[in-house]
Amino acid sequence: MEDFSYPNADQIQREKGIKLIRGDGHITLAACDSASSQIRVQTVQGSDGSSQGTYCFKVTAKSGYLDLELPRIFALETADHPISADLKPQDDPSAPTKTVAVAKNSFQSVGEGVAGGTPAVLLKLRVTG
């Protein structure tokens, strides 16, 4: 029976610093490419300790989801598809999850990217159209 676990998740977490948990296969981690239509997630600190990291995701359908854990995100950027993203304060795991909607071809500041914002963990991406 399929459990929708993300293939090679342990290796990806070691190499890229992003924990991919499960999804339906319609949103997948991809190499960032300015020529393609991707969801981009920007973090305050890259997996290699650099000052910033960008993670890109390929979308293959008008709906889909990916459960993940990516700390210290500050921005979400979309291309051809609108998305929703579930976030939680990084320092307060008991805090409620906040869902942010981002229209297609848009950019949305979140977490530390918002004036007075606090570090946030991205928990889920959903393609919504």
Predicted TM-score of the model (pTM)? 0.89
Which sign does the torsion angle of CA 33, 15, 40, 46 carry?
negative
Quickly tell me which residue has 């998305």 as its tokens.
83
CATH value at residue 111:
2.60.20.30
Under DSSP, the state recorded for 50 is -
* pLDDT tens-digit readout, 35-46: 778 999 999 976
Q: What is the pLDDT of residues 49-81, one digit of tens each?
A: 666 789 999 999 999 999 999 999 999 999 999
Residue 6 φ/ψ, nearest 5 degrees: -75, 125
Count of structural domains within the chain:
1
Tell me which residue range forms the domain holding 48: 9-127
Rg (alpha carbons) of the chain, rounded to whole number: 14
